[in-house]
């Protein structure tokens, strides 16, 4: 059986190839993501331990169910373009993944969804009150990890970028729920919503990955 393949080559500011991602129909990219982000699962287990145990169990529930891990993957791969992933990179990638999962926990409550990743949503499994607190804990731990990443890298800007992304995600989520009361929405409105709610964290992941490696002017990224 033959599989079609595509190769994405990312270049640095001088046009030199720095990192490539191979994509094929037989799932090689998914395997690469799984291997690359394995340290992030270990970090999630590490940072989501504490008391009350029931609260930390609820907070860890969704992140440890898996997901595509595209955002932390992007953090790590971007760091590779600027010299290579390090401990700061892994804390930053964990921060991004925890923030993403925080948004999912609260989004599921707002949308009254019952399934996420093929399993009961956090509020269905643990109750709405605990789920809200679990989401809040994920949010707090995300910034704790971002702060550690910033200290380890010695490079300011990681926390600031995550704050910026968090604010935009909130704005996008509000636009999303506001659409429910509208009979029609324009393409421009929809694109603005997904840009804020979804694209923002991908952009932040790329910038943050670079910031974990070497001092960089964010405006140049």
Q: What is the pLDDT along the chain (221 residues), one digit of tens a residue?
A: 333 344 434 444 434 444 444 444 555 888 999 999 999 999 999 999 999 999 999 999 999 998 899 999 999 999 999 989 999 999 999 999 999 999 999 999 999 999 999 999 999 999 999 999 999 999 999 999 999 999 999 988 999 999 999 999 999 999 999 999 999 999 999 999 999 999 999 999 999 999 999 765 555 55
Q: What angle do CA 67, 130, 68 make, to 5 degrees?
A: 5
Structure tokens at 179: 């659409």
Q: Are residues 6 and 21 in the same domain?
A: yes
Dist CA 4 CA 26 (whole Å): 9
Dist CA 156 CA 152 (whole Å): 10
Give me the pLDDT at residue 220, please: 53
Residue (of 176, 163, 174, 169) closest to 197 by Cα position: 169
Give me the pLDDT at residue 156, please: 87
Give me the pLDDT at residue 66, please: 85
Task: Number of helices (H) and strands (E) in the chain: give both, helices first.
Answer: 10, 4
Q: Are residues 103 and 22 in the same domain?
A: no
Give backbone dihedrals phi and psi of 127, rounded to 5 degrees, phi first.
95, 150
Domain containing residue 213: CATH number: 1.10.600.10
Structural domain for 76, as ranges: 40-220
Distances in Å between the Cα of 181 and the Cα atoms of 110, 170, 173, 176 are: 14, 18, 14, 10
Q: Which residue has the tokens 């504490």?
A: 50
pTM of model > 0.75: yes
Give me the pLDDT at residue 40, please: 96
Which helix (H) or strand (E) element contains residue 119?
A: strand 119-120
Q: Are residues 14 and 102 in the same domain?
A: no
Q: Are residues 44 and 31 in the same domain?
A: no
Q: Are residues 52 and 76 in the same domain?
A: yes
């Amino acid at each position: 059986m033959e599989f079609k393949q595509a190769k994405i080559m990312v270049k640095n500011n001088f046009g030199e190839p720095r990192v490539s991602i191979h994509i094929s129909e037989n799932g090689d990219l998914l395997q690469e993501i799984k291997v690359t982000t394995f340290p992030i699962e270990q970090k999630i287990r590490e940072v989501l331990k504490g008391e009350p145990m029931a609260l930390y169990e609820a907070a860890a529930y969704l992140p440890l169910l898996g997901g595509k891990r595209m955002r932390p993957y992007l953090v790590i791969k971007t760091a590779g373009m600027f010299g290579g992933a390090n401990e700061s990179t892994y804390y930053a990638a964990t921060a991004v993944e925890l923030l993403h999962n925080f948004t999912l926990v609260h989004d599921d409550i707002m949308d009254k969804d019952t399934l996420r990743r093929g399993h009961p949503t956090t509020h269905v499994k643990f109750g709405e009150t605990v789920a809200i607190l679990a989401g809040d804990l994920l949010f707090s731990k995300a910034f704790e990890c971002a702060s550690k990443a910033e200290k380890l890298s010695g490079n300011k800007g990681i926390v600031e970028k995550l704050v910026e992304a968090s604010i935009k995600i909130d704005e996008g989520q509000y636009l999303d729920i506001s659409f429910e009361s509208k009979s029609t929405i324009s393409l421009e409105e929809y694109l603005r919503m997904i840009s804020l709610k979804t694209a923002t964290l991908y952009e932040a992941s790329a910038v943050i990955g670079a910031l974990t490696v070497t001092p960089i002017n964010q405006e140049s990224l």
